[in-house]
Amino acid sequence: MKLYEDLIAAIRALLPDTPDKACGFDPALCAEPGDKNAILFRGDMAYELGGSGKQSVNCTLFGAVPDAKDEVALYGKDLCELTQDTAFSHLTIVQLKDEDEETLRYETLKDIAFCQFRLYPKGYHIRISPSAGKEQVRVAKAALQQSPPLSLLNVGCSLIALLKAQPDVAAVKTVFITDPSVDHTALTALARKAKQITEAVQHTFEMNSLDCASCKMKPICDEVDGLRALHFKKEEERKKHDT
């Protein structure tokens, strides 16, 4: 989807050429599901991804996945290799079966992005703040002591399974980053822009008339190719419907 392609390219430019670990989607690799109401106390956790004031990023983007191949990629250390709180970014690219912005529906994007809130791997307690674009995770000591220990590849496969159950999803690539050398600050800025794009799409479907001069979304529409065209397209459809 062209609305997000510049952001996806910018994210790829921030990452090393090859991940430290990667795997194609395999249902057999999905993490054991846990209890969504379970609480992980500090005494039972090994560390927290994005904890102790460390940077954390959560972002879902919509665009082309290389070779339309479902994949999990990890840049940095895996869960069993970490010993303390660390900066953490989790980025997911979702390729839709219909990538035409003219047929785009905000409800589709919202339903897909909401899948991450139904992810409950055992021993991996996720806290996501959509407004802040952050994701923090408490990792249980028991999850690292089991054989084999829980891996971010397991978590990624579980997320892909949830996303692939959505009728509009063609392919998914989800990326975990624990490498401290990656610029998480730059990733935060890109995630914020992705959120603005999605909000602009929402605004397009909710607005009653098009008045770019007074619209709060004008700055992001001026910056992102395709958003303004999408706005005008929807306005034309409304006028035809009204007549």
pLDDT at 102: 54
Distance, CA of 225 to CA of 159 (rounded, Å): 30
pLDDT at 199: 82
pLDDT at 108: 85
Tell me the CA distances in angstroms from 191 to 10, 15, 92, 199, 235, one per residue in order: 11, 15, 11, 12, 28
pTM of the predicted model as reported, rounded to 2 decimal places: 0.87
pLDDT at 233: 65
Class of the domain covering 2-183: alpha beta
User: 139 - beta bridge partners?
Assistant: 47, 124
Give 74-88 as a DSSP string: EES--GGG--S-B-E
Q: Which of 164, 240, 213, 233 is nearest to 3 (CA)?
A: 233
Averaged over 198-226, what is the pLDDT?
A: 67
Helix (H, G, I), strand (E, B) or coil at 43: helix
Paired tokens of 32: 């054991």
Give burial (CB, 10 Å; 0-12/13-18/19+) of 157: buried
Distance, CA of 82 to CA of 201 (rounded, Å): 39
Terminal-residue alpha carbon distance, the chain: 31
pLDDT tens by residue, 22-45: 999 999 999 999 999 999 999 999
Helix (H) or strand (E) holding 73: strand 71-75
Q: Are 158 and 23 contacting, i.e. CB atoms less than 8 angstroms apart?
A: no
HSE, CB side, 13 Å, CA atoms: give it for residue 205.
15
Averaged over 213-235, what is the pLDDT?
A: 65
pLDDT at 241: 61
R_g over Cα of the chain: 19
Distance, CA of 60 to CA of 38 (rounded, Å): 25
pLDDT tens by residue, 4-25: 999 999 999 999 999 999 999 9
Say how many C-beta atoms besides its own lie within 10 A of residue 130's C-beta: 15
pLDDT tens by residue, 88-101: 999 999 999 986 65
Q: Is 182 left (phi over 0), alpha (psi -120 to 50) or beta?
A: beta
pLDDT tens by residue, 119-160: 999 999 999 998 899 999 999 999 999 999 999 999 999 999
Q: Where are the domains of the chain?
A: 2-183
User: 57 - beta bridge partners?
Assistant: 89
Q: Are 72 and 13 contacting, i.e. CB atoms less than 8 angstroms apart?
A: no
pLDDT at 201: 77
Residue 212 has pLDDT above 90, yes or no: no
Q: How confident is the model at residue 58 (pLDDT cuts 50, 70, 90)?
A: very high
Q: What percent of the chain has pLDDT over 70?
A: 81
